[in-house]
Amino acid sequence: SWHLGGLVLVTSHGFSGAYNGSRFGISASAIAGSGTHMERDFDAEARIHRSDLPAPAEIGRKAGERAVKRLHPRQMETFKGTVVYDPRVATGLIGHFAGATNGAAIARKTSFLRDKLGEAVFAEGVQISDDPFRQRGLASRPFDGEGVAAEPMDLVDDGRLLAWILDSASARQLGLVTNGRAVRGGSNTSPGATNLTLHPGAMSPEDLIASVGNGLYVTELIGHGANLVTGDYSRGAAGFAIENGEVTYPVSEVTVAGNLVDIFSRLTPANDLTHRFAVNAPTVAVDGLTIAGR
């Protein structure tokens, strides 16, 4: 796929500006097995420059290998343990964080983080930043939907929540100043992140998994089971069992559940961050989640 688009903005405050942007993508879905014993998986990449895309054969090979690995899945026994999120699904946790720090939700008092500004929300060492100027970032832009030139900012530093994602309207409601995160949809704007990143930790994914003992390695999540008012979290999941620190048999038809307050405070990132999308995260581990199987 390819896309070319841009924005021309002229405001009553005297601002005028314009920019263009390109995007190229490649994806493949693969089905393995036969009859009623079939599994599916995929791989996908998106880039600003077409020359940065991996070869189609690489995308297809990864999709095929992932589908084959998922053949003949089992259910797990229900237990409370550690869930390791593959980077493809770890971005969902950071997406929930972005929703909970959205200035509009804070102003409406519909976020479970509304009283947490300045407090430790994640473990020590965890950093989450938003950078509208990241080179070749999929959401990079010179100004926001209101003509405000935003700066890179840390939303979380050493586990502490430092800022909300604000446009002018939500900032006024909160008695603050916009930090240039307005996203335009037609004639209206709303707060939204740009290139949002959970920074890597010190451990490799292999060492992180080895430290788990027994748990679940999640490669796919199903449903939208995150309540950003209460923080309650429940998602259908598929992936692989972790036994004695090693990834073993494929697993499906399980649910992972907890509360995002606890999930964030127990989240440990690995060191395998790659910038593939507008929201990026490395492999992460979260202990104390309920893994519901048979």
Residue 44: predicted pLDDT: 95
Do residues 101 and 130 make contact, with C-beta atoms less than 8 angstroms apart?
no
Per residue in 62-117, pLDDT (tens digit) is 999 999 999 999 999 999 999 999 999 999 999 999 999 999 999 999 999 999 99
3-state secondary structure of 111: coil
CA quadruple 134, 140, 141, 143: dihedral, nearest 10? -70
Tokens (6 digits) for 1:
């796929």
pLDDT(186) > 80: no
Per residue in 237-270, pLDDT (tens digit) is 999 999 999 999 999 999 999 999 999 999 999 9
pTM: 0.94
Residue 27: predicted pLDDT: 97
pLDDT(225) > 90: no
3-state secondary structure of 293: coil
Nearest-angstrom CA–CA distance, 134 and 129: 11
pLDDT band at 185 (very low <50, low <70, confident <90, very high): confident
